[in-house]
Structure 1
Amino acid sequence: MDIKLNDIFNLSEENLKNINFKLNKSNQIEDPIFLFYTNKQRFVEYVSWKKGHYDKKAHFSKDRDYVGHFVMMPNSKHQWLFAGIFEIIGEYANSQGIIYEVKEVEKYKCFSGRVVVDYKKKRGYQGTKFKPETMIQEMIVAEILPDVYEGLEFEGYDNVSLTFRELKGLYAVESPSWKTALASVKGIYALTDKSNGKLYIGKADGNEMIWQRWASYISSYHGGDVALKNLLEEKGQYHFEQYFTFTLIEMFRSTVADDVINQRESYWKRVLDTRKHGYNLN
């Protein structure tokens, strides 16, 4: 039998009339779920900000004192992570819009970052803010995590494909499962620029394992590669965070000779033609 969200929240009819739900998903500037598990304070600031005219309150309704936040799960269109219920205690304006001062409600903190719900917006629903009187009856609990969500779990070397933001999040929290797996293997990887389909084929060999090699992209964006340096100068950091993905093509034990890694790197550059149609210059 399906468990509805309110089966565990137990919000009364009176409570529901004084709260809004806000569905937060990634945009071209920020990824709310990344902010949630790497910097909770920054997340609260982000979701409590309304850019625009001061007489419009797109994130919160004028007649409601609480807001419940949900963030879209990675690689999903209909699953949302509960991020807390917040009391609106004030507001102030700055040059860019309205900032809402909020305080998280203690009663629901134990569910924050742990409850994942299935919810598909109905056709015709616009915006991201909703009154929950009927919505909460349509939110089905998909999973209750044992611990607060800390990014994607490592699911094997055959399934390593991450956006720049996802990878950045794993490094920010030093995800134990990912760090243990990727810090112990050499490999061949592809960076994909989704804005144009171009690939960069790279390798991790010598004393540098995949985890260490990919760390250089998180810190510098270009990882020391000439073509990517040029792209960074031309397009900026935003281009990498918005369009680049990291995929592990081949994995090798740390004891495999570097000559083997070099040969496989050359092979993939050749068959994918990344010297002519990608970002490889040699």
Structure 2
Amino acid sequence: MHLSSIFKEYGVDISQTKLVRHPMSKKDVRDAFQHGMIEAYQASQSKNCFDNCRYIASFIGTNKTEALFIGIYEMVGIITGPKVKDMMPKGYPHPDHFDDKHMYYKLKKLDIMSDMDKKLVIEWGQATKSWYQWARNDKEVLSISNREEKEFPGYEELIVSYSELGDIVAEEDRYRKWVDALKNVNGIYLICDTKRNKQYIGSTYNDDGILRRWSEYYKSHHGGDVNIKKHLKKYPDAFYDFQFTILRILPKNITEKEATRIENKYKDKLCTRNQVYGLNGN
């Protein structure tokens, strides 16, 4: 599982969000945390690290590379100069954080992902990486305490993002019902590049069903399809915007010939051989 799939589920806009990790290995972080003032600590900065984002997803560095989620915050204003000292809460352990060399970001904690507070743990990466970075730098989720299994919505209702597909392919316990459902049928599927309005139709006709084919897309990004390869050469990160859906369920014992015949009919119906918005070459 990756952090991007959780953000997608909760509607967090990664294009406007930065990830922030406050390492407990630093004494001033530990002091602020122990005084219940970590929000004051992150609000006061010596450089303009948050100026070009609207939200921050905040984490506490629990060891060398892991991070514990503590909330989503929205930027609502900034204070600079002598007035910064007026924002320091009483009893704050490091008054120098609020001198006139610092700026104070007015942050509002949002209810988004509040059920993940102090439950979600991610792998930040090497300790040398910046303590703040854009949310598009995806992170592996290491654990989530007390997270419920997701119900399978049904084949006709199924809409899967690329990042969510990674969680399904990993056969996480949370997606057990989805894995079983996608292994047990073949089908005609549709891949949409939701940002660039491109569509691709394919079919499956193997013993491992739809899941096997979709797993290939997740791992290689293109699944071996020539026109998707060309598309990704032009837009290297486009696979992050891929959306997977099922147009029609096919039986497990369907022949390649019959599956291909039905696939071609859907290509005709949706005009996915059209070079303007289609990614099918034949």
TM-score, length basis structure 1 = 0.54
Q: 1:250 to 1:56 in 2, by over 3 A?
A: same
Uncovered stretches (5+) of structure 2, i.e. residues with no partner:
1-9, 23-41, 51-55, 59-67, 74-109, 120-126, 134-142
> Once the two structures are aligned, what percentage of the paired residues are identical?
26
Task: Determine the C-alpha separation between the residues in 1 that align with 2:11 and 2:154.
Answer: 29
Contact 1:161–1:245 (8 Å) recurs in 2: yes
CA displacement at 1:67 relative to structure 2: 8.0
Equivalent residue number for residue 32 of structure 2: none
Do residues 217 (structure 1) and 217 (structure 2) align? yes
**What stretches of structure 1 of length at least 5 have no aligned partner?**
1-22, 33-45, 61-65, 72-76, 87-92, 100-111, 115-146
Secondary structure of the equivalent of 1:274? coil
Give me the whole-angstrom Cα distance separating, in 1, the residues matched to 2:14 and 2:161.
Answer: 14
Please tell me whether the aligned partners of residues 82 and 113 of structure 1 are also in contact (alpha carbons under 8 angstroms). no
- Is the 2:72–2:112 contact (alpha carbons within 8 Å) kept by the matching residues of 1? no
Distance 1:227 1:55, change over 3 A: same
User: Which residue in 2 is equivalent to 1:27?
Assistant: 14
Deviation at 1:209, TM superposition (A): 1.3
Q: How far apart are 1:271 and its partner, in Å?
A: 0.9
Indicate how the Cα distance of structure 1 residues 186 and 67 shifts in structure 2: closer, same or farther if over 3 A, else same: closer
Measured after TM superposition, the shift of residue 259 of structure 1 is 2.9
Counterparts of 1:94 and 1:255 in 2: how far apart (Å)? 52
Structure 2 residue aligned with 1:19: none
Please give the root-mean-square deviation of Cα atoms over the aligned residues, in Å. Answer: 3.8
Contact residue 183 and residue 212 of structure 1 kept, 8 A: yes
Do structure 1's residue 232 and structure 2's residue 219 form an aligned pair? no
Q: 1:160 to 1:98 in 2, by over 3 A?
A: closer
2:157 is matched with: 159
> Per-residue CA shift, 1:51-109, capped at 9, x if unaligned?
x964468667xxxxx984269xxxxx9863522249xxxxxx9784569xxxxxxxxxx
Corresponding residue of 1:107: none
Deviation at 1:232, TM superposition (A): 1.7
**Counterpart residue number, 1:82:** 115
Within a 5 Å distance, the mapping from 1:1-282 to structure 2 comes to 25-28=12-15, 46-48=19-21, 54-55=46-47, 68-69=70-71, 80=113, 82-85=115-118, 96=130, 147-149=146-148, 152-174=150-172, 175-236=175-236, 238-241=237-240, 243-276=241-274, 277-282=277-282
Sort the Cα spacing of 1:149 and 1:57 in 2 relative to 1 into closer, same or farther, 3 A: farther
Distance 1:95 1:261, change over 3 A: closer
The 10-residue stretch of structure 1 (178-187 or 166-175) with the greater mean CA deviation from structure 2 = 166-175
Cα 1:84/1:257, change in 2 over 3 Å? same
Match of 2:98 in 1: none
* Letter matched to residue 48 of structure 1: R
Q: Which amino acid aligns with 2:255?
A: A
